[in-house]
Amino acid sequence: MDKMKVTYEAMLGLAAELVLDEAVLKFKTEKLSKAIDEALACGDEDTFYRLVKQLNELKA
């Protein structure tokens, strides 16, 4: 029974880690998207390209 409990706890830990990773990815993606929109609105080409590169690296 102890082995099953350890396995179950490990699985719960992995599931929690996946949920957290997904939430962090979503947060970073949204933050970069907003910053990209702002750079476009301001006509800041250098910042736009830098942020798009970061977003693409994040999605890869």
Give tens-digit pLDDT for 43-60.
Answer: 999 999 999 999 999 998
Residue pair 48/40 in contact (Cβ under 8 Å)? The answer is: yes
The domain containing residue 27 runs over which residues? 2-59
pLDDT of residue 1: 60
| Structural domains in the chain (count) | 1
Rounded CA separation 59/5 (Å): 35
pLDDT tier for residue 23 given thresholds of 50, 70 and 90 = very high
Q: Find, among 30, 27, 33, 60, the residue nearest to 48 by Cα.
A: 33
Per-residue CA distances from 44 to 31, 33, 39, 60 (Å): 17, 14, 5, 24
pTM of the model: 0.78
The angle formed by the CA atoms of residues 19, 36 and 47, to the nearest 5 degrees, is: 120
Provide mean pLDDT across the span 8-19: 95
